[in-house]
Amino acid sequence: MSTIAVTGAASGIGAAVCQHLEAAGHTLIRVDLRNADVNADLSTAEGRQAAIAQTLEACNNRLDAVVACAGVGVTAPSIGLILGVNYFGVTEYLDGLEDALTAGCNGKAVIIGSVAGSHMVATPHPMAAAMLENDEAKALQMAEQSENPSAAYAASKYAVTVYGRRKSVEWGKRGLRLNIIAPGAVETPLHKASLDDARFGEAVKNFVAPMGRAGVPDEIADGVGFLLSDKSAFVNGSVLFIDGGMDAMVRTNTF
Ligand code: NAD
> Cβ(117) to ligand 1 under 6 A?
no
Q: Is residue 253 part of a domain?
A: no
Count of domains observed in the chain: 1
Strand partners of residue 5:
29, 66
Check the CA dihedral 102-20-87-166 and report its sign: positive
Q: Is residue 194 part of a domain?
A: yes
> Cβ(78) to ligand 1 under 6 A?
no
CA of 231 to the centre of ligand 1 (A): 27
Q: Is residue 144 part of a domain?
A: yes
Strands 27-32 and 239-242: unpaired
Ligand 1 site-directed mutation target among 19, 31, 54, 72, most atoms within 8 Å of CB: 72
Q: Please name which of 190, 193, 169, 168 lies closest in space to residue 178, comparing C-alpha atoms.
A: 168
CA of 185 to the centre of ligand 1 (A): 12
Residue type, 154: A
**CA 225, CA 161: separation in Å to the nearest integer?**
19
What ipTM was assigned to the predicted interfaces of this complex?
Answer: 0.99
**CA 62, CA 147: separation in Å to the nearest integer?**
42
Q: Is residue 250 part of a domain?
A: no
Which of the 8 DSSP states describes residue 111?
A: E
Determine how many CB atoms are found less than 10 A away from the CB of residue 166: 13
The yes-or-no answer on residue 153 being catalytic is yes
Q: Please name which of 186, 177, 164 lies closest in space to residue 242, comparing C-alpha atoms.
A: 186
CATH number of domain containing 190? 3.40.50.720
The pLDDT of residue 1:
86
Q: Is residue 255 part of a domain?
A: no
> Cβ(22) to ligand 1 under 6 A?
no
The pLDDT of residue 212:
97
Provide the residue range defining the domain that includes 92: 3-239
Q: Is residue 244 part of a domain?
A: no
The pLDDT of residue 105:
75
What is the tens place of the pLDDT at every residue in 202-241?
A: 999 999 999 999 999 999 999 999 999 999 999 999 999 9
Instruction: Kindly report the protein residue whose alpha carbon is nearest to atom 36 of ligand 1.
Output: 114
**CA 235, CA 222: separation in Å to the nearest integer?**
15
Q: Is residue 246 part of a domain?
A: no
What is the tens place of the pLDDT at every residue in 32-78?
A: 999 999 999 999 999 999 999 999 999 999 999 999 999 999 999 99
**CA 192, CA 73: separation in Å to the nearest integer?**
10
Q: Is residue 251 part of a domain?
A: no
